[in-house]
Amino acid sequence: MRVVLVGQPNVGKTLLLINFAAYLGCNEIVKDAHPPDRLSLERSRRECVSYVAHKHVVPLRASLNPGKSTETSLVLVDTPGIMEGVPGEARQRRAMASSLEELFYAQMILLVIDGGLSTVSPLDDALMGLATRIAPTLIVLNKADVRRFQPSAHRDHFAASPVLAISALTRRGFRDLKQRLYALWEAQS
C-alpha cells in the first residue's frame, strides 16, 4: 500500500517520513533519483530535512517488507511539497508537479500541516478536498512539541476527519498514527 505524505513546504513531511519509517523498523530511505539512491536514516536526515523550501525536489520512499507484493508491503512516499501559486523557478514547478502526481497514485494520504499555525490555510483546505477524492486521508498536525502548537482551529474546521497531533521530532503521537494507518490498511485489504 502506498501512503503518500503531502502538504506545504517546511511542515515536516520529510522528517516525519524518516523518523516514522525508523519507528516502523525501516532502516533505509530511497531517493527516487535516476538511478535511485539508497540512504541511511542518518544521511537522509542530514541531506533531505531542511528549512529551505523545495531544497529536496525528488520524492523519498521508505518500504517496509521490501520485496513483498504491494498488497503486503507498506510504502511511505514523501513529496517535495505544494505551495500557493505557480513558483518562479522551473525546478520548483517540477517539484510541485511531482508532488501532485504522487498524490494521484496514493492508496492512503497523510496531509501534513504545521500545527503551530492558528488558522486553517485555504491551500490545506483545498488539498484536503482533493486528497479525500483520491484515497482515505488522515490529517497530521505536526510540530506538537513547539510552544505555539494549537490544534483547535484545525480540529474544528476538519471535524469530519481524524486530526492527529504529532511531533516528527520527538515522535509524540507515532503510536496513534501507526494504529490508525494499520486499521485503514486492514480495512482496505
Ligand X SMILES: Nc1nc2c(ncn2[C@@H]2O[C@H](COP(=O)(O)OP(=O)(O)O)[C@@H](O)[C@H]2O)c(=O)[nH]1
Site for ligand X in 37-56 (CB under 6 A): 49-51
The alpha carbon of 8 is separated from its chain's Cα centroid by a whole number of angstroms, namely 10
Distances in whole angstroms, Cα of residue 132 to Cα of each of 111, 114, 167: 10, 19, 23
In the bound state with Mg ion, the residue whose beta carbon lies nearer, of 24 and 53, is 53
Contact call for residue 147 and ligand X (CB under 6 A): no
Contact call for residue 173 and ligand X (CB under 6 A): no
CA nearest neighbour of 128 among 151, 141, 110: 110
| Region label for 173, one of left (φ > 0), alpha (ψ between -120 and 50) or beta (otherwise) | left
Burial label, 69 (beta-carbon count in 10 A; 0-12, 13-18, 19+):
exposed
Contact call for residue 13 and ligand X (CB under 6 A): yes
Strand partners, 113: 141
In the bound state with ligand X, the residue whose beta carbon lies nearer, of 92 and 167, is 167
The CA distance from 102 to 27, in Å, is 22
In the bound state with Mg ion, the residue whose beta carbon lies nearer, of 13 and 154, is 13
CB of 144 to ligand X, least distance (A): 7
Binding site for Mg ion (CB under 5 A): 13-14, 56
Q: What phi and psi, each to the nearest 5 degrees, are found at residue 138?
A: -110, 140
CB of 139 to Mg ion, least distance (A): 18
In the bound state with Mg ion, the residue whose beta carbon lies nearer, of 2 and 56, is 56
Contact call for residue 139 and ligand X (CB under 6 A): no
CB of 32 to Mg ion, least distance (A): 13
Contact call for residue 2 and ligand X (CB under 6 A): no
CB of 13 to Mg ion, least distance (A): 5
The CA distance from 126 to 132, in Å, is 10
Site residues (CB under 6 A) for ligand X?
A: 9-15, 49-51, 81, 142-143, 145-146, 167-169
